[in-house]
Amino acid sequence: MNAAQSLPMLQNALTVGAILFSLGLVGILARRNLIVMFLAAEMMLQGISVSLVAWSRYHGDWGGQVLVIFVLTVAACEAAVALVFVLQAFARTGRLDAAAWQSLREANLVRTVDHELPSIDTLPPRYPTLAPAGVLPPTDENEPLQREHV
């Protein structure tokens, strides 16, 4: 296939890659949910991968395709690490808002405050408790504890 025939294919693939990257960038900038931000970052990586494969095919070498294999490997490792961070943020704060990460910083670092955020960005930790022996746990917050009939 000569360069004149493969140029439209290159342009189409680069357009798809640019659209994927742009959608991912909008997702990162517009959303505050950590899972959505993570998925948007993955979409940006996929847009770059499509572009690398297109350039590699256009130039007739394997360099871009090999690089995509490494990008996918790094993305898989990133997914595992990001999942741990998201789960820890949810376990400590009870929500997946990116503002919840403020409470996870070290004590000697200055807090960054975005004035559009809610005034309270931390929730007190709520630890599970066991019911006293012989007492059924309440089913509703307002319902008092009841004795179990034996």
CA-to-CA distance for 36 and 27, rounded, in angstroms? 7
Query: What pLDDT does residue 45 have?
Result: 92
Query: What pLDDT does residue 119 have?
Result: 56
Residue 112 lies in a domain: no
Query: What pLDDT does residue 3 have?
Result: 64
Residue 140 lies in a domain: no
Residue 116 lies in a domain: no
Query: What pLDDT does residue 69 have?
Result: 93
Query: What pLDDT does residue 117 have?
Result: 54
- Residue-range definition of the domain harbouring residue 16: 3-104
Residue 41 lies in a domain: yes
Residue 40 lies in a domain: yes
CB 38 within 8 A of CB 28: no
Q: 3-state DSSP call for residue 35?
A: helix
DSSP 108: T
Q: What is the pLDDT along the chain (150 residues), one digit of tens a residue?
A: 666 678 889 999 999 999 999 999 999 998 877 778 888 999 999 999 999 999 999 988 888 889 999 988 988 888 888 888 888 878 877 777 776 666 666 777 776 666 565 555 566 667 777 767 776 666 666 555 555 554
DSSP for 80-105, written as a single string: HHHHHHHHHHHHHHSS-BGGGGGGGS
Which CATH number fits the domain that encloses residue 57?
Answer: 1.10.287.3510
Q: How many independent structural domains does the chain possess?
A: 1
